[in-house]
Amino acid sequence: MSGTPARVLRSLGRAQGVVVAVLVFAGLMLLNALLSPFPLSYFDISFLSSGGATTAIAAAGQTLVILSGGFDLSAGAVVSLVNAVLASSMSPTDMDAPVVLWTAIGIGIGAAVGAVNGFFVAVLRLQPIVVTLAVMFIVQGITLLILDTPGGFVAPSLGAVFLGDAVPGLLPAPVALIGVLILLWLWLKRTSFGVTLYAIGSDVESARATGLRVRAVTFLTYMLAGGLYGLAGVFVSAQTGSGDPLVGNALLLPTFAAVVIGGTRLGGGKGGIVGTIFGAYILMIVVNLLLSLNVSAYFSTIAESAVLLLAVLAGSLSRSSTLSLRLRDLSDSLRARRAGRLVGQRARQDRRLAFTRPAERIDAPGILQSHGHTLRYALPSYACLALVLIVTQLLLGNVFDGWRYWDSLLVLSCFLIVLALGQGAVILTGGLDLSLPWTIALSGMLLTGLVAGQDSGLWTAVPLVLAVAALIGLTNGLGVVALGLSPIVVTLAMNGILQGAALLWSGGTPAGFAPPSLRWLMTGEIAGVTPIIFVMVAFVAAAILLLGRTAFGRRIYAVGNSEMAARLSGVRTGRVIVSVYILSALCAALVGILLAGFSGQASLGMGDDYLLPSIAVVVVGGALITGGRGHFAGMVGGALLLTAMQTLLAGTALPFAFRSVFFGLVILAAVIALRE
């Protein structure tokens, strides 16, 4: 292990993320101990260790998937499923149920779901984020079929083993369990499986070209991750002694936060489970700190976001990090400007070399030739849409014999269509915007609060709301470009900050309501057509032109295909990336305004239901989650498809559980149709 000091330093540098996570954790523990009036007892340690264990175990699974370059949205749903299965099938009279058997059952269920994910991702090569999104809906539905309300029974024997003491008075069982996981991981990392996992995450094409077993390892990764979610589900069951069909769903975002705090790179190839586990415990200890410091309720999401940002930032600081690169760039260009050597300072004159000449003209390509690629990815969503429409007509009628259905469909889709432009542009550059929910809510609340129900107020309120949104987008963009943080971290933290801001601004009760003209736009009519539909037609046309025909649009695709290549071709990639986040925030603000008009007022949680659909719409519409591919027309098709599907399901008397399953199946079908 030991070597020259340089080698030790190098390996420490490589493990910077983990080291920082451990240091932050230790610092927070110390701070907590200092603030607490009582010394930390064994009991407290035991309780702390069990409190964070579920998140830690689930996040460990998530780490594997992220290391392979994937993304698993089904993690929380699997935890709920295992909890529901255990709680509903254990016999209430059997106090000493066999722990090993039930643990194996839990892990097995998780691994089975993981195998489904793995099959679609590894064998059919579908995009992980949509596959796991669809599986998440399906699993949530199945969970509700098994257990439709909190209840059931989990034998105390499980709790005794998982929450008891491995060594009484010295080693709590959760710590031992996590220790075993870490040891297994350290072993796994050194096997050929582990090496292949990192290779796939670093560069899947090279890994394949080198002859590594990419497909088998990816499949196994998802299965292993599923098994870990299953174990987390068993742990929750042991901890709570009963079942709750929703218990795991809220774990999804914390697992991502834990992974990134632990120093694992989103996109794969770098990081590991040890850091993640500390990341998970940092998230839990923050709860205690907020209590000790008596941070008020409205500030809690802001404080948590700050911890997330600082921890990730600290983990990424180094001479080669983006932040220091940017600072160096800045000082270089300042120096160049002072010396008069900056490119922009040179006289503007044609410097083309004399022997260059215009390129030879080639024949204009045929329509199919130039648009075939777009059609290939945009059409499936429309094909699925047609199918859903036909089924709706057969089951419910009123689709093809009147305008009413179409009017509702278009009005309800308009929110997703607008979001698809912003989220779509961000995804085209290879990013992701998770700050949509509270950008929507804050914008809606600002608008209704400022206009106080008067049309005349719109003239000042709308520009102001859009300006605030632009500022939000700018901050997101700068966080990504200047600080070099992962878009997921920046926008997740922004979402928390905005939630706090919205609560502080409204005092918990959003004031005012939408002015009459805005309500008319969303619910009135011009010759039987809701006015917003005309606006949407113009919006879609403008958006297609923006992404497809302008220099800005071309640059977005260029950045998404290869940021490096785009930069070397003279695209100011930083500006492009910042602009797409601004565009996304503006679109979210527009949705906030439209939703306020639609509902007549704003409410705090009004944006919550739009985050996952906004991503689903973009991907179902044919975009590649890693960026560079996708057409807005396809995304519009995706928005219409999702809305038509929800309309169909709402019209039937099917229980919610089945609807969730169907919804997942349709998303899955749509992405299978997109398969290369």
Partner 1 sequence: MKNAFLAGSVCAAALVAGAAMAQDEPYDIYLSMSYIGNDWQAEAQNMVRALAESSDYADRVNLRIQVAGPNAQRQIQQINAMVQAGADAIVVYPISPTALNTVVKSACDRGVTIIAYDGEITEPCAYNVTIDQTEAGRVTAEWLAEELGGEGDIVVITGVPGTSVDTARTAAAMEVFEGHEGINVVGEAVGMWSQAVARTELSRLMATRDWSDIDGLWMQVGCYTANAMQIEAGIAPEDVLPCAGEGSNGGRIQMLPADTAVEGGAMPYAPMGAPRISYASPPYSGALALKLAVDILDGAEVPKLTTLPLPIVTSETIQLCETGSWEEQRDGCNAFQPSLVANPGWFASIFSEELPQLGLNAALVGQAEN
- Closer residue to partner 1, CB minimum distance, 267 or 524: 524
SS3 sequence, 275-299?
Answer: HHHHHHHHHHHHHHHHHHCCCCHHH
How distant, in Å, are the alpha carbons of 28, 29, 281, 506 from that of 286?
8, 9, 9, 25
For partner 1, the binding residue among 376, 599, 626, 669 (CB under 8 A) is 599
Closest approach of Cβ 288 to partner 1, in Å? Answer: 4
Neighbours of 123 (CB within 10 A): 12
Query: Which x/- pattern over 310-339 shows residues binding partner 1 (rule: CB under 8 A)?
Result: ------------------------------
Binding segment toward partner 1, per CB under 8 A, in 124-132, 146-154, 326-334, 426-434: 146-154
Positions 347 through 406 that interact with partner 1 (CB under 8 A): 392, 396-399, 404-405
The reply to whether 30 sits near partner 1 by the rule CB under 8 A is: no
Mapped to the 3 state alphabet, what secondary structure does 174-235 carry?
HHHHHHHHHHHHHHHHHCHHHHHHHHHHHCHHHHHHCCCCHHHHHHHHHHHHHHHHHHHHHH
Query: Is residue 589 involved in binding partner 1 (CB under 8 A)?
Result: no
Binds partner 1 by CB under 8 A, chosen from 128, 647, 661, 668: 647
Site membership for partner 1, residue 603 (CB under 8 A): yes
For residues 148 and 165, which CB has a smaller minimum distance to partner 1 in the complex?
148
Contact pick of 27, 365, 463, 605 for partner 1 (by CB under 8 A)? 605
Residue 44 interacts with partner 1 (CB under 8 A): yes or no? yes
Residues β-bridged to residue 171: 167
Q: Taking contact as CB under 8 A, which single stretch among the options 287-295, 310-318, 475-483, 617-625 is the one that binds partner 1?
A: 287-295
Q: Which of 463, 480, 484 is nearest to 315 (CA)?
A: 484
Query: Least Å distance between CB 638 and partner 1?
Result: 17
Instruction: State yes or no: residue 616 binds partner 1 (CB under 8 A).
Output: no
The three-point CA angle 598-601-604 to 5° equals: 110
650 binds partner 1 (CB under 8 A): yes
Site for partner 1 in 168-227 (CB under 8 A): none
Taking residue 557's Cβ as centre, other Cβ atoms within 10 Å add up to: 17
DSSP states along 536-572 = HHHHHHHHHHHHHHSHHHHHHHHHHH-HHHHHHTT--
Q: Where are the alpha helices (DSSP H) in 247-366?
A: 252-261, 273-292, 300-316, 322-339
287 binds partner 1 (CB under 8 A): yes
Determine if 512 is a binding residue for partner 1 (CB under 8 A): yes
Would you say 283 or 547 has its CB closer to partner 1?
283
C-beta of 443: minimal distance to partner 1 in Å?
A: 14
Do residues 571 and 559 lie in contact, with contact meaning Cβ atoms separated by under 8 Å? yes
Q: Nearer to partner 1 by C-beta: 392 or 486?
A: 392
In this chain, which stretch among 1-9, 23-31, 239-247, 341-349 interacts with partner 1, using CB under 8 A?
Answer: 239-247
C-alpha 595/C-alpha 612 separation (Å) is: 17
Judge contact between 666 and 384, C-beta under 8 A: yes
What is the DSSP code string of 587-638? HHHHHHHHHHHHHSS--TTTTGGGHHHHHHHHHHTT--TTSS---HHHHHHH
* Per-residue contact string for residues 429-448; x = within reach of partner 1 by CB under 8 A: ------------x-------
The CB-of-471 to partner 1 minimum distance in angstroms stands at 22
Q: Which is nearer to partner 1, 411 or 494 (CB)?
A: 411
Nearer to partner 1, 178 or 559 (CB): 178
Q: Which is nearer to partner 1, 378 or 419 (CB)?
A: 419
CB 465 within 8 A of CB 447: yes
**Of the candidate residues 62, 264, 300, 491, the single one contacting partner 1 (CB under 8 A):** 300
Residue 108 touching partner 1 (CB under 8 A): no
Contacts of 627 (CB under 8 A, 6+ apart): 427, 428, 429, 430, 431, 559, 560, 561
**Host H or E run for residue 167:** strand 165-167
| Near partner 1 by CB under 8 A: residue from 263, 510, 592, 621 | 510
Given 3, 92, 507, 528, the residue binding partner 1 (CB under 8 A): 507
Q: How far is the CB of 101 from partner 1 (least distance, A)?
A: 22
Query: From the list 20, 25, 28, 51, which residue makes contact with partner 1 (rule: CB under 8 A)?
Result: 51
- Whether the CB-CB separation of 67 and 273 falls below 8 Å is answered with no
Closest distance to partner 1 from the beta carbon of 559 (Å): 34
Q: Of the listed pieces 4-12, 45-53, 203-211, 471-479, which binds partner 1 according to CB under 8 A? A: 45-53
At how many degrees (to 10) do helices 656-673 and 128-146 cross? 160
Kindly tell me which residue out of 242, 322, 562, 626 binds partner 1, with binding defined by CB under 8 A. Answer: 242
Q: Which residues contact 579 (CB under 8 A, 6 or more apart)?
A: 477, 552
Closest CA to 265 of 505, 404, 67: 67
Backbone phi and psi for residue 165, each to the nearest 5 degrees, phi listed first: -110, 135
Question: Which of 392, 584 has the CB closer to partner 1?
Answer: 392
Footprint on residues 514-573 left by partner 1 (CB under 8 A): 516, 523-524
* Residue 301 touches partner 1, criterion: CB under 8 A: yes
Nearer to partner 1, 12 or 35 (CB): 35
Which of 29, 308, 389, 411 is close enough to bind partner 1 by CB under 8 A?
411
CB 322 within 8 A of CB 483: yes
CB of residue 528 to partner 1, shortest distance in Å: 12
Q: Which of 230, 233, 243, 597 binds partner 1 (CB under 8 A)?
A: 243
CA dist., res. 52 & res. 285, Å (int): 8
Q: How far is the CB of 284 from partner 1 (least distance, A)?
A: 5
Sequence-distant (6+) residues with CB within 8 A of 566 are: 555, 558, 559, 573, 576
Residues binding partner 1: what is the number (CB under 8 A)?
A: 90
Give me the least distance between CB of 167 and partner 1, in Å please: 21
Cβ neighbours around 15 below 10 Å, total? 17
User: Counting contacts by CB under 8 A, is residue 595 touching partner 1?
Assistant: yes
| Cα separation, 278 vs 262, whole angstroms | 6
Q: Shortest gap between Cβ of 639 and partner 1 (angstroms)?
A: 14
